[in-house]
Structure formats: C-alpha cells, structure tokens
Chain A
C-alpha cells in the first residue's frame, strides 16, 4: 500500500491522479465501472479490494464521485511550489464556494491543516456529488480524506457521579405500559410459555402487535427456562398484522 502511494505521489507531479483508500472486503465495484482507463480493477471476486494502477489514471475524477465509500481522492502536485491540490468528494447540503477557507482532515477526523477551496465541480450521474479541490501544503496532502468547516468536533460530554441511580420504573412494553417488574411477577407465578406470558402480562398485546417487545419477553423467559430463542418460539401471529379501521374491515366505509 505504501508503495502504491509513493507511485501516486510521483505521478501526481505530472497530472492529477486518484488515490484509492479502500482496503476492506466490500461487495462493491463502481470504481472499476467508473474508470474508462482501466486503472482500477476489482475483478470477478466482488469483495476483493480494488487494485489500482496510478500509471493509467488520467485524473478524470469519475471514480471519486461514484465511490459509495467516499474512499477515493485526487492528488495534484503540478504546481511544484510545495503546495498540492487535493480533491475530495463532498456530500453535505450546505453552501461551499471557491475561495473559502476550510480545514483539511485525515481519515480519523483529525485536523491536518487549513486550506483554501480552489475548485468545485459537480460530477456523477443524475444526482451528482460535489468534488471539492483544496490547496494545502504538499507534505500533508497524502493524508487528506476530507474537509470540514468546523475545526473541533461537536462531541462533548461530562462525567457523572459514580453513585448515579438508574430509574427502574420504565416499561418493557410501551403500548401496554408493562414494567419489567410485572413481567417478573408472572414468571415467578410459574408461567413458562411465551403465549401464556404474553396473555397474562399483556406485553405484546398492544398497538404495535409485539414487534418491539417480543424479543425482550423472549429474553426474560429464556433466562428463567434456559431455553434458546428457537425453543422459546415466537408470538402466534394473528391477523391483522397492521391495525385496520373497523369500518374498513367490515367493508362499510370504503
């Protein structure tokens, strides 16, 4: 991989070239489809990582726009002035204009340097992607994976007391407002089948038809009976699987 990037680095002196940063097994090949120069190959095995030959790339940028992983970038060092132009795909909805200053970040979101937007180009089908080109000091260029306006991340949190008490009176079934305590009460009475537990605790008898709470009930029951999910089974499904107005069902007000 390092070797590849050295080649990219070299080629980028002559013309803009793609930098493909996709190493995982993803069932995906639009990069290959996009490239008319045959510079990117995924091959028959869809999940293999793309094999890229910078020598064949002419820097058209199609793959940058089409890669669903937003994992391809362009590097251009033609200026030879210690500055490089890096192009990244930009999918944010907000405004971005040439001349603006923006932060260049690496793949982890760490700010590398400040840069200037020098070009914006729409590319990639009926619903295109903006390719944003920034100018930054050359030595950071290989690491750039994105740009953003905000320097710091939003994330902030505060530590809470160790002694923090969790509230305990929350429902496991929101439709019928049944707490876990109530479920445990029925389990303590000895109920051992999912159906009986549902009928008595009312968990899963509500509007959502048990879509959400079923798993929870199965878990609680499984813990007591030491039976697997499959053995514990599912709620018996009865029509209608979606609520329907009585008038509709009766064919009255159609």
Chain B
C-alpha cells in the first residue's frame, strides 16, 4: 500500500444548507420540506437503501393518508424517498456520519472521508434495539427481533427453524408474525407482565396462527453449545421453570433512541422513560438547545413511523423558519397543522403518556 502522495491529501470540506442525518421517515420528511422550499438539502444514511426501519416492514401501516397508512412499510419508504428526491434533496446512501462536533461540523464517511458543514442539521438517526445480558445471550441464534426481521425480509434468509420471542409489544407481535410468514415456526412469545403489550389486533393475528403468548413468564437463560438449543423461562405464577426447544431467540424488549450524535454535539440530554431513554432535549418545534440542531423521529423518543414523519416535517419547518426561508406566518400555519396531527396520533391510550412527556419537554427549561 502506497501511503505516499495521496496519503497527504487534506480532509475535504463541503457545505450545504440543511442536512438530515438518517433517511428514515423522519429524515426524509424533514428534507422534503426543506428541499421543496428551495433550500439546498442533503440526506445522509449509512444504509444502502432509504427508508430507515420501514424498508424491512412488509406489513401495512397505521396512520392516516399523510402517513401512507394502509400501505406496506417498504412501500411507504419508497414513496417517501421518491418524494424527497423529487423535491430536490440529494440523498446520499452508504454515507455514515462518524461525528458531529461542537463547532457544528459533521465528519462523514462516504466513498472517502469528508467534513460537511450545514446551517441546519436534523438528527433523525432512529433507535436501536434494546438488549440485556442473561446466561447464553452471546450464543449465535440470540438476536434482536429487528435483526431477525432484516434477515427474513431484506436478505431472504431464515435465522433458524424454531423461534421464541421475548416481549409482546407491537414489535414482538409483528416480528413473530413475519417469521411465520417467512416460514419459521414460532414456539411462543414470552411476556413478563400479566398482559400483552401491543395492540389487540396484532395480538390476535399471531394467536390465530396458533402462537401461544406466555404471560408472566421471565426469560431465564438460553442453553446450547454452538448455538441456541433451548430457551428457559420462569413461570412467575407457578414458580416453575419451562424449557422451550428452539434454535432462535428474538428479543423485542424495546428500542433505545440513538442520539449519540446529539450528545457529541453538546445537546442537553434528558432521560425520559416514556420515550425510551436518553434523548436530546427539544422544544415543541423539535429544536434542541443548540442553535441549528433539530431532532426528529425515534431519535427524539421512540414512537411510530407516522409520528416520525410529522416530527420530521415539523423539524424541517422549524429549520426553514430559523433560516429565514419561510415567513413566520407561513411557518406558524404549517407547524400548527403538524402539531394538530401529532396530537391526534398520540391520542390513544398507548400514545397519551408519550404526548404528556413531549409536553413536559416543551415546557421544560431550555438552558442548563
């Protein structure tokens, strides 16, 4: 390897007006708003496809027309990416943001390493699957439910033959269903609580396929030598231990907002349990406490794709307002409409605690 000439290359620098980090629903929607307003906009995503979590979702989505409801996740992803590009945003896939520095610059790895500077940055980096240690958790065959979903829906590979899922929230229920769709057997879903976490309709669809849901069962351990052979769970009612024969264990125990970049940038981070953990503090318009830094979607609190879209749009509008690209009046109008929709989306029993948490944030003090 010759480290001679090109080794001396300086770090290239580039600038644009608005950057969205993450091409999930939040990032794409933020960028679309900005680009449609004539602002030079770039979207960066480390994936080779746009759409974030949606590209691996083959089920139809909740929401309303503005969110592509009734369509399948990947279909919504395609449409959002297309809209965003049509509006004039540049979507750079396979571009990973490595750092977001206090001076506002981003360090990006694309085909090469470069520095990107923007007047407004929308962080829409989504969330990560939560995991926790237990005996056997490092064995092959133990994975996040989302990882299993990527295997079956994106790569067309089955992680195994028989799966046990942990967690009966919507993600656990949907992934269980999708594993069945892909041809796997689902031995059961373990749930510590005494009721199912997700929506009844999702619960019902897995039960119809004959998948038992074990309430008040705690995952104890995974057994196996080279991989998962059995899953042990404790029946908290009876105090007994059950062994399930399976070669795959999928954890669907929640998501953690992925907000490292915000933290690196110096944004004030707050812990909000209802929203999944540490998130950058943000006001009702998705502004963080750092000028020119916005956050939207799961990175601002784990919720749903439809909410991510509208939060992205809101962040886009707020950025446009701050850039002077939208009149205050127009900005206010659009923000009001988006907030109205967000309120509706968070209107149900599942959404209300999140709505309250968001309100608390917006009312909260802005400076350290």
Contact = CB atoms under 8 A, between A and B. Distances in A.
Is there a direct interface between A and B, measured as CB atoms under 8 Å apart in the complex? Answer: yes
Interface of A: 22-30, 33-34, 44-48, 66-71, 91-94, 105-109, 124-127, 129, 145-146, 148, 150, 152-162, 164, 166-168, 170-172, 174, 180, 209, 211-213, 215-216, 228-230, 234, 236-242, 244, 247-254
Interface stretch (B62-70, B82-90, B312-320, B329-337): B62-70
B211 A237 contact: no
Nearest to B208: A146
Nearest to B99: A239
A19 B200 CA distance: 16
B207 A109 contact: yes
A228 B271 contact: yes
A43 to B, nearest CB: 10
A241 B71 contact: no
B11 interface: yes
A168 B220 CA distance: 11
Given A46-B64, A145-B208, A215 B201 contact: no
Contact of B240 (A29, A159, A180): A159
Contact of B271 (A107, A230, A254): A230
Given A27-B304, A156-B187, A93 B181 contact: yes
A93 B136 contact: no
Chain B interface, >50% SS class: mixed
B186 interface: yes
A29 B181 contact: no
B93 to A, nearest CB: 15
A166 B234 CA distance: 12
Taking residues whose C-beta sits less than 8 angstroms from the other chain, chain B's interface range is: 35 or more
B141 to A, nearest CB: 14
Among A25, A44, A209: residue with most chain B CB under 10 A: A25
Interface string B254-267: 00100011011000
Nearest to B11: A251
Nearest to A247: B1
Nearest to B129: A212
Interface string B202-241: 1011011111100000001100000000001100000111
B72 interface: yes
8 contacts: A33-B65, A46-B345, A67-B70, A69-B201, A107-B204, A167-B135, A241-B98, A242-B46
A176 B97 CA distance: 24
B345 A27 contact: yes
Contacts of B347: 25, 27, 45-48
Given A105-B208, A157-B244, A26 B199 contact: yes
Contacts of B277: 215, 229
Given A27-B351, A66-B70, A70-B201, A240 B345 contact: no
A209 B109 CA distance: 18
A159 B187 CA distance: 15
Given A45-B344, A125-B75, A129-B60, 7 more contacts: A27-B351, A28-B69, A125-B70, A153-B212, A155-B210, A168-B135, A240-B99
